[in-house]
Amino acid sequence: MKWTSGIVVGAFAACSAVMVAGVQHWETKIEGQAQAAVVETAQPHQKQFSGVSSYTKHLPPFLVSAIEDTFIKDKPISLVLVAREEDEWASFVKKSLEDTYGQDVFHIQIYSYHDQTTKELVHSSFQQDLQKLNPTLVLAEVPMLEGQKEMPIDDALPELQAFISQVKELKTAFILQPSSPYASQYESYEEAVAAVGGMAKENHVHYLNHAPLWPYEISPYVTKESKLTKEGKRLWGEHLSSWFTGK
């Protein structure tokens, strides 16, 4: 009888061991499948982003994250380029980004304010017009060219603050850059660029300063009337495109 009980106990223990081993096997298998599913789910956007990540090496972290999000959410960045004229740097950047990133990362629109001064622009329908374009990112050229030929940059700072505020009120990511070089009777272009940079810093706006790009001998790039030549447009456009595409 004792021998029979031992057999029963032994059989029960063996059966229990098999059951425990079986449960552990299935738990391990299920866990492995779950991990594989997570990896499989994560892989598509990670692979897609890795295909363009080399282009982002010059970009600030907030913009790199936004680009990666386009692959997760399957929704492009709505980028509005605010420029004096469409055919200066903006059209060059638009084509370069579309050629480099394709059509799924950036949806690009251009807003041109032409010969308006900062004061004229902020008292126009600029903010409403910009809002209609529904941007998630704005790259704006400060309207320095016309205004600072007529007055010192310090006198224009209140209007510049209004310009920055109108864009920030749209709750969009914001990158600011100075205008192209110009001649002024009040201060040097470099002094004005520094003042705009200080204003951008105070407002926590990313400042893309291209002033060091322009050579001392400026005549091949900018006319005496402070208009960009064909070479000037190319130089500025290529510089911005290189920043966006990691070249």
pLDDT at 4 exceeding the cut of 50: no
Both structure tokens of 31: 């866990």
Q: Which residues contact 131 (CB under 8 A, 6 or more apart)?
A: 170
**How confident is the model at residue 37, as a pLDDT?**
44
Would the pTM of this model clear 0.85, i.e. be above it? no
**Count of CB atoms situated within 10 Å of the CB of 35:** 10
Q: Which of 30-34, 91-95, 178-182 has the highest mean pLDDT?
A: 91-95
33-47, 74-88, 104-118: which range is least confident on average? Answer: 33-47
CA separation for the pair 27, 33 (Å, rounded): 10
Q: Is residue 97 exposed (0-12), middle (13-18) or buried (19+ Cβ within 10 Å)?
A: buried
**How confident is the model at residue 29, as a pLDDT?**
41
Going by C-alpha positions, the residue among 37, 92, 65 that lies closest to residue 173 is: 65
Q: b/e per residue, 51-64, with b = 16+ CB within 10 A?
A: ebeebbeebeeebb
- pLDDT tens-digit series, residues 144-197: 876 666 677 788 889 999 999 999 999 999 999 999 988 776 678 888 899 999
CA separation for the pair 242, 209 (Å, rounded): 14
44-48, 86-90, 192-196: which range is least confident on average? Answer: 44-48
**How confident is the model at residue 146, as a pLDDT?**
67
Higher per-residue confidence, 44 vs 67? 67
**How confident is the model at residue 184, as a pLDDT?**
72
CA separation for the pair 215, 93 (Å, rounded): 21
**How confident is the model at residue 148, as a pLDDT?**
61
Averaged pLDDT of the chain: 82
Q: Is residue 43 exposed (0-12), middle (13-18) or buried (19+ Cβ within 10 Å)?
A: exposed
pLDDT at 87 exceeding the cut of 70: yes
- pLDDT tens-digit series, residues 202-219: 999 999 999 999 998 999
**How confident is the model at residue 67, as a pLDDT?**
93
